[in-house]
Amino acid sequence: NAGVTQTPKFQVLKTGQSMTLQCAQDMNHNSMYWYRQDPGMGLRLIYYSASEGTTDKGEVPNGYNVSRLNKREFSLRLESAAPSQTSVYFCASRPTGGETQYFGPGTRLLVL
């Protein structure tokens, strides 16, 4: 039982490049979330998926898109990376009926 996994662990992009951050969970959780964490800002919600086939915007969705590929996987795409998207990205999942979110190890993204 790996919990929540994220790939890659670290990525460097040039401004304008695109990439997809991958997240998968093996806990059969319905809800999944993408956050970004910047120094002194806590975690801010980018997008979430309450269940397979649904996605909704969070607090800071601009510049991102998401796909809930199936119940296990929830990906985050940056179509044209900007230096302001330099951050640590965390994926989380939550079981139906529970409120505890379980976090992946994070992806550190640097946009030059």
Interacting residues toward other proteins by CB under 8 A: 31, 33, 40-45, 48, 50, 56, 58-59, 90, 94, 99-106
- State the nearest-atom distance from the C-beta of 41 to other proteins, in Å: 6
- State the nearest-atom distance from the C-beta of 14 to other proteins, in Å: 24
Instruction: Give 1-5 contacts, CB < 8 A, sequence gap 24+.
Output: 1/26, 1/27, 2/26, 3/27, 3/102, 3/104, 4/91, 4/92, 4/93, 4/102, 4/103, 4/104, 4/105, 5/104, 5/105
Alpha-helical regions (H) of the chain = none
CB closer to other proteins out of 9 and 14:
9
CB closer to other proteins out of 8 and 16:
8
CB closer to other proteins out of 37 and 67:
37
- State the nearest-atom distance from the C-beta of 106 to other proteins, in Å: 5
